[in-house]
Amino acid sequence: MFDGLKDKLSGFREDVEESTEAEEEPPDDETAAESGAAASDASAEGVGDTTDAAAVESDSAEAAADDDSASSDDEPSTFQRAKAFATGRIIIEEEDLEEPLWNLEMALLESDVEMSVAEQILDSVRESMLGESRKQVETTGELVESALHDALLDVIAVGQFDFEQRIAEADKPVTIVFTGVNGVGKTTSIAKLSEWLADRGYSSVLANGDTYRAGANEQIREHADRLGRDLISHDQGGDPAAVIYDGVEYAAANDIDVVLGDTAGRLHTSDDLMAQLEKIDRVVDPDMTLFVDEAVAGQDAVNRAKEFDDAAAIDGAILTKADADSSGGAAISVAYVTGKPILFLGTGQGYDDITLFDPEDLVESLIDEE
């Protein structure tokens, strides 16, 4: 999963390692001679007269001032680099990062990472590494890995919350409404989540608010029958808000923990369908509204998530077909763009093929070299 993006991130690590190799060479003869001269002066200072000592001290102050001036431009001076080498450290410079960061930006965009997200990742990596020094006993790769880890986690974990804890602590029944365009696996995701909840001891009822699409009742009923769940549905053309409201009433009367409400697939530009969502919000007041889209849709999924959140606020997202996505752009971008977390990944066709999204696990899998 997301192997293409993982390879691109590994390429960035290799680029930085190559760009810093030259700095790992010992100082040249001229620098060594200067260092030797400085050492001799330092020895002479200990045995010379007070005038010589004052002169040496003055020269040292000037050198320190020059050093400070050089460092003010965020560019390590020759003296700083020599000193760093002498103390067993290597300094990461702007020129070391320029080309690798450019390549990383192109790699992220090619992986369908949204532009503002890519820029945030680059800024974070640059800030973490520029001017940073490392011990020679460590590797530049370890510095890169740490910077990438923090930068990726910052954008992926935006808005994250404990889904199961929220279910456990909420008054029952908990009502969850699902939105998204047609054909992205919304109804199947409802069935999968019903099974996920059952595995954790929560009962659920399905409510078909997709009352306009021909065959919608049959599709969700097939899932309900296979899973042994109750289904609340009305005739085609009925009021979606009324269906989900009936589902809530049924759950309350029968001590069912969670109501999973389907809605008609829609585009954010469909005014009548968006009005249905607004009515569901007014009539049912769901505890959560989840946006469903395909991970393989990449940038399109990111754009749609933002549009749906703008039109009818979502609480989180489910990305289907994550197992078929090598780019990873949607998984990287959705939370940062909407401010709402990815909660689940669909990873196959079976009812058990749904995984609670863990940002830390995803980041670790993306930067792990093995």
Q: What pLDDT score was predicted for residue 169?
A: 95
333, burial (CB in 10 Å: exposed 0-12, middle 13-18, buried 19+) = buried
**Residue listed under structure tokens 């042994």:** 228
Q: pLDDT band at 207, cuts 50/70/90?
A: very high
Top-tier CATH class for 3-156: mainly alpha
Q: Which of 285, 347, 338 is nearest to 316 (CA)?
A: 338
Whether residue 139 contacts residue 24, with contact meaning beta carbons closer than 8 Å, is answered with no
Q: Which CATH architecture has domain 163-358?
A: 3-Layer(aba) Sandwich (3.40)
Predicted confidence (pLDDT) per residue in 323-334, tens digit: 888 788 888 999
Q: What pLDDT score was predicted for residue 27?
A: 47
Q: What pLDDT score was predicted for residue 65?
A: 44
Q: What pLDDT score was predicted for residue 89?
A: 56
Q: Which of 42, 289, 344 is nearest to 178 (CA)?
A: 289
Q: Which of 342, 353, 358 is nearest to 191 (CA)?
A: 353
Whether residue 158 contacts residue 19, with contact meaning beta carbons closer than 8 Å, is answered with no
Annotated binding residues for GTP: 180-187, 262-266, 320-323
Q: What pLDDT score was predicted for residue 88?
A: 46
Rounded to whole angstroms, how far apart are CA atoms 315 and 338? 9
Residue 51 CB partners (closer than 8 Å, separation 6+): none
Q: What pLDDT score was predicted for residue 281?
A: 85
In which residue ranges of the chain is CATH 3.40.50.300 found? Answer: 163-358
Pick the most confident of 35-49, 195-209, 356-370: 195-209
Q: What pLDDT score was predicted for residue 138?
A: 58
Predicted confidence (pLDDT) per residue in 252-302, tens digit: 999 999 999 998 876 655 667 677 778 888 889 999 999 999 999 888 899
In which residue ranges of the chain is CATH 1.20.120.140 found? Answer: 3-156
Please state which of the ranges 78-87, 182-191, 203-212, 256-265 shows the lowest mean pLDDT.
Answer: 78-87
Neighbours of 234 (CB within 10 A): 16
Q: Which of 95, 91, 72 is nearest to 80 (CA)?
A: 91
Annotated binding residues: 180-187, 262-266, 320-323
Instruction: Calculate mean pLDDT across residues 27-34.
Output: 47
281, burial (CB in 10 Å: exposed 0-12, middle 13-18, buried 19+) = middle
Whether residue 318 contacts residue 189, with contact meaning beta carbons closer than 8 Å, is answered with yes
Instruction: Calculate mean pLDDT across residues 161-165.
Output: 95
Judged by DSSP in three states, 193 sits in: helix
Q: What pLDDT score was predicted for residue 271?
A: 66
Predicted confidence (pLDDT) per residue in 119-145, tens digit: 999 998 888 777 655 554 456 667 778
* Mean of per-residue pLDDT scores for the chain: 79
